[in-house]
Amino acid sequence: MANQKNQPSGKGCAVLVVHGGAGAINREKLTASRERQCLSTLEQALRAGFKVINDGGASLDAVVAAVKVLEDAPVFNAGKGSCMTRNGKIEMDAAVMEGTKLAAGAVASITCVKNPVTAARAVLQYCPHHVLLVGGGADAFARKIAEEAGLKIVDPSYFRTKNAEETLKRFLEMEKVLKKKGKRPSGLTTGAGQGDEDKSPAELMELEDLGDIEDFPGIVMPELDKTGKKYGTVGAVAVDRSGALAAATSTGGTVGKDPGRVGDSPIIGAGTFADNETCAVSATGTGEHFIRNVIGHEVSALIRYKGVSLQEAARQAIFVNLARTRGDGGIIAINRAGEFAMHYNTLGMYRGVVFADGSVATAIF
Residues 267 and 227: their CA atoms lie apart, in Å, by: 25
Q: In degrees rounded to 5, what are phi and psi of residue 280?
A: -120, 140
Q: How many CB atoms lie within 10 A of CB 258?
A: 10
> Of 4, 11, 62, which is closest to residue 360 (Cα–Cα)?
11
Q: What is the DSSP letter of 258?
A: P
Asked if 233 is an active-site residue, the reply is yes
Amino acid at position 144, single letter = K
DSSP string, 163-200: HHHHHHHHHHHHHHHHHHTT--EEE---SS-SSSSS--
**Pick the catalytic residue: 41, 118, 227, 233?**
233
The H or E element spanning position 146 is helix 135-149
Whether 317 contacts 295, CB under 8 Å: yes
Residues 179 and 305: their CA atoms lie apart, in Å, by: 47
Bridge partners of residue 193, in order along the sequence: none
Residues 56 and 240: their CA atoms lie apart, in Å, by: 8
Which residues are part of the catalytic machinery? 233
